[in-house]
Amino acid sequence: MTQNLKTKVLIVGAGTGGYVAGIRCGQLGLDTMLVDGGDGLGGTCLNVGCIPSKAIIHAAGKFETVTKAAGGGTLGITAAAPAIDLSQTVAWKDGIVRKLNAGVAALLKKAKVKVIKGWAEFADAKTCVVKTDEGDIRITAEHVILATGSEPVELPFLPFGGDVISSTEALSLSEVPKKLVVVGGGYIGLELGIAYRKLGAEVAIVEMADRILPLYGKALTDPVSKWLEKHGVELHLGARAGGFGDGKLSITTKDGEPLQLDADKVLVTVGRRPRTQGWGLENMGVTMAGPFVKIDQRCATSMKNVWAVGDLTGEPMLAHKGSAQGEVVAEIIAGHDRIFDPVTIAAVCFTEPEIVSAGLGPNEVAGRDDVIQSVFPFAAIGRAMAIEAGEDGGFVRVIANKGDHRILGIQAVGQHVSELSNSFAQMLEMGAVLEDVAGTIHVHPTLGEAFHEASLRALGHAIHI
């Protein structure tokens, strides 16, 4: 027997876009239902993406530190040769995920959002059926928020299964593979490849482009390339992957030569695609923009009172973008005058070292004579030297208008620079000028002093260089 329910707002997808939209709808007094049919509350980010990957990266960094101490000492510290039980590390990671899942569930309950476990299938734009363990539920809504997220891209000649894995399986391995080949040199592949190298795996990376992280400027990626070289990571750039069998991955090198790479696991990270299949999107009558759902500045689709947020709506496919869109849509439904029009959405690569980019980069202002570019190295920052963060070529770069000194873009590469990303985004969002950063007394000793000094340098009077 099918149960029939009606609601003001129906949200499909419980990732960072969907659950945030749900909480905000609840805070605003809107009768709200959230259908969770994917990875669980928190979606990809919380369950099999951002959070668990950073936990594994953190554990890998700890293991690397002890390994250095055992290999002749570091900072005067020596230690016995370390060992790792990856199954225990994964169990620790899973514990973090469970705590965060429970936290999201509690927040949704407090906001009086009804959570339904199951996958929705839409018959039309405002009606769906959810198959649950207790039977089918037909839901009719006045407003629908689509937040179905994204999924890893599968290569037809390297289908997922067995020893060919996606990032999801890479975060739950029971032991460190002796030989790991990563297909795709973007941020996901590099983050996990570097982590597993720190954990002791022999790592090779196969990338079609001529360099790693092709979406970022070379100056930002050079320190990462140096780390890979220093730590024996095998790079095959301009290369194409082929099939996998008998513990060997076939590739074609940049020169067109066939090559076989030994691999216990092949991690395929060639991108993500919006999750548009299997839930009746084709029955909703919404306009598409390529593979994505087309939205306007209000996150509205072409169908009245149907909204879309997060990865489903296009690049950048970042969790914090989806969350911000979810808040905007909830407030619009509640009658507030809102649009989604950020000055910037900062992006971070949690590689070794980390990379941050916000606003315009050098490639986007190339050839312009009306901009100032200023770089300040972490090698001249005391805090960076004290935590061994000034030795890898890291820096902060500021790009600003020459006329009014309005900041247009900020980039950084170095250890722990992800923690500077919010400061960068805030300055851009507020329309700051170089004098605003220069006039802010930055705490000493911190990495943020490099941002201060880069701005001073753009004005012609850096202090520590």
- Catalytic option among 405, 444, 461, 464: 444
Query: Cα(369)–Cα(247) distance, rounded to whole angstroms?
Result: 54
In contact, 191 and 56? CB cutoff 8 Å: no
CB 344 within 8 A of CB 360: no
* Ramachandran assignment for 345, one of left (phi > 0), alpha (psi -120 to 50 degrees), beta (any other): beta
Q: Which of 138, 169, 135 is nearest to 152 (CA)?
A: 169
In the annotation, is 143 catalytic?
no
Encoding tokens for residue 236? Answer: 């095959």
CB atoms within 10 A of CB 316: 12
What are the angstrom distances between the C-alpha of 368 and each of 203, 364, 401, 409, 411? 40, 9, 10, 14, 18
Closest CA to 270 of 434, 153, 364, 165: 153
Catalytic residues: 444
